[in-house]
Structure 1
Amino acid sequence: MISTSVTGALALALIAPGPVDGPPPPKPTPAGNAAPADETTVAGLGQAAGVPPVFEEPRPPLLPADFRGEGRYVVRDLGIDVPFTWQGRGGDSQMIAGGPEHPIWFTNIIYRNTLYTLTYKWPGIPATPPRQCDRVGFFNRQILNDLLKTARYVGPEILQGKKDRRVDHWRVGVVGGSTQPGENPRFPIALGDVYVDQRNPGQWWQVLQFGFQNLFDPALDEWFTLTTFSHQPGTVTLPDRCPPPL
């Protein structure tokens, strides 16, 4: 960055002197007291000197109230790649991975300010008796979006596939224990790498989930990728075996 005094002096040097019979040139301003140069001139000088433009961090990811997304749910260490849907309606939302004919089948739901998870099938987990629906507790879209505001920007990337997508990569996490590094034990509860469209942070394309929430996965990490995403109201259905909201 060029200091104010230097840019002021350079800006004055770029002003061509008047004709010999014109008014005398202005007296030079002492260093440190230079008047601010014209913004356009300073910007031009910055580019001419190779100074990069000021970086503006994009907006963090945002989960919209209404949406429909379809793609794949991938658990690499188990060799699993199954259909995946994620839909939202009026602030409620529901993920469904797999189905009765697939090696995994589960749903995560935000319904009336309550978070639910229900695993129908998972390798090594007995299917009978039917697993109960876990009402995790109070949670909603606003809490999720507030958490996403704390995400750290990793950078712009291109997701390569049948259709390359320009995305912004963000990392969001929840850490337990002391807030002062090095003083007391700290441990990651959940981490997520979120990839959203560069033009619209409310358009999601890929997420890596890592942490204690992936209790059935030996490697504790699971991906979902979306091939379609629209801002139309989806369908959110609370299974019969799930208890009513809190």
Structure 2
Amino acid sequence: MTAEGGHGLDTHTPGGGVGGSRRGHRRRLGDVVAGRRRYAGRGHAAARHRGYGARRVTATTTATANTTGADAAAQAPRPPRLPRDFRGRGKWIVRDLGITVPFTWEGRDGDSRMVAGGPQYPIWFTNLIHRGALYTLTYKWPGLTEHPCSRIPGFDLETLNRKLGTARFVGREILQGNPNRYVNHWRVGVVVPQLPPGKFLRFPPTLGDIYVDQRDRGTFWQVLQFGIQNPYDPELDEWLVMDTFEHRPGRVTLPARCSPPV
């Protein structure tokens, strides 16, 4: 998901974890198809602590070399699906900038809101799906001097979940931490232009790796984003890592600066 500007997804962790990606209408799972943690520490110095990162992944392969595409599809679990009501906390990570900030992601009646950082942190943004539109507002980002709220109409929870329904199953994995998370790893993204197999020039504006609980495809534990929809970050990637994810209604409010047109 993202705040105004961009955020997308990728995987594999520099420094002992799975690494990832980020923004684009700035941080949208929402964008990636488009959203942070119990924060250990206080203040700017803690926010920039490089010790916080995506969880280390232990992978378990699920297909053999002789597995066909049809066999793999039959073995795959159902793809991720963001629920209508949820709330969770975690962290938002921009590893190349050395920044980690608190993150919250909440949903209510199909609307949802991500908030990363705050006025005391080096980055601060919000991404929302609200009444059929996608909003992104970046309050703070290194080197950013403009802070408009962007709005993309025609985007709601079902739009997001339809895109998530096209995700490819990577495998069953363990995100090592306290506690360990047993997850299904999925890859989703946007590639343009849409052309048949063959020798064509293609571009991936946004890619994302999504890790959902093996027992519940609606419980999201980690999202790694990468793509040109994350233009504020030099390496074009950001990650979100959840510490909690509960299936009960959260609080979703539209910032005054993002008031919809009358």
Output the TM-score relative to the length of structure 1. Answer: 0.74
1:177 to partner: Cα distance: 1.5
Residue in structure 2 matched with residue 113 of structure 1 by the alignment = 132
2:247 to 218, 231, 240: 231
The separation in 1 between residues aligned to 2:76 and 2:192, in whole angstroms, is: 27
Residue in structure 2 matched with residue 27 of structure 1 by the alignment = none
What is the count of residue pairs matched by the alignment?
A: 192
Structure 1: 5+ residue runs without aligned partners? Answer: 1-51
2:154 to 132, 138, 162: 138
The separation in 2 between residues aligned to 1:178 and 1:185, in whole angstroms, is: 10
1:179 to partner: Cα distance: 1.4
Report Cα offsets for 1:132-168 as digits up to 9, x if no partner: 1111232010011111111000000000112101000
- Determine whether 1:188 maps to 2:207: no
Matched-pair contact (CA < 8 Å) for 1:209–1:223: yes
2:164 to 135, 141, 148: 148
The separation in 1 between residues aligned to 2:205 and 2:158, in whole angstroms, is: 20
Change (3 A) 1:245 1:153: farther
1:183 to partner: Cα distance: 4.6
- Determine whether 1:76 maps to 2:95: yes
Change (3 A) 1:245 1:94: farther
The alignment-based identity, stated in percent, is 61
Structure 2: 5+ residue runs without aligned partners? Answer: 1-66
Map of 1:214-229 to 2, 5 A cutoff? 214-229=230-245
1:243 to partner: Cα distance: 3.2
Query: Which residue identity is paired with 1:86?
Result: W
Relative to structure 2, which stretch is displaced further, 163-172 or 131-140?
131-140
Structure 1 residue runs of 4+, over 2 Å off? 52-56, 180-185
**Between Structure 1 and Structure 2, whose CA radius of gyration is higher?**
1
Query: Which residue identity is paired with 2:128?
Result: I
Relative to structure 2, which stretch is displaced further, 135-144 or 106-115?
135-144
Output the TM-score relative to the length of structure 2. Answer: 0.70
The separation in 2 between residues aligned to 1:177 and 1:59, in whole angstroms, is: 27
- Determine whether 1:161 maps to 2:177: yes
